[in-house]
Amino acid sequence: MGMHRSALRRRRRNDAAAQQLVNRVRKTKERARRDARMLEKVKSGDPPFNPTVMSWLSRKLDKPSTKISAEDVRGLAASMQ
């Protein structure tokens, strides 16, 4: 006979919760690496930046990428050091 459906759901929830904890740590480390990488690109270059950097800047500044100015970028670079 197979496993009862409620026990199977409970096991899946527990497995998912354990995996979320693992992923949370992994994603936190990756975000820190990405922030450092993007900050280096921002410091070393001048606008216009490539789409990847503009997307990151847009998320960090909470502005559409078309509205980001050079002053915004300099302010972000200074505040993240």
Position 45 scores a pLDDT of: 80
- Number of Cβ atoms within 10 Å of the Cβ of 42: 20
DSSP helix/strand/coil, 63: coil
Position 48 scores a pLDDT of: 82
Two tokens, residue 56: 């990151």
Peptide bond just before 48 cis, omega within 30 deg: yes
The pLDDT tens digits for 3-30 are: 899 999 999 999 999 999 999 999 999 9
The pLDDT tens digits for 40-75 are: 999 888 778 899 999 999 999 999 999 998 898 989
DSSP helix/strand/coil, 76: helix
Q: Which residue has the tokens 């899946």?
A: 12
Q: Cα–Cα distance between 27 and 29 in angstroms, integer?
A: 5
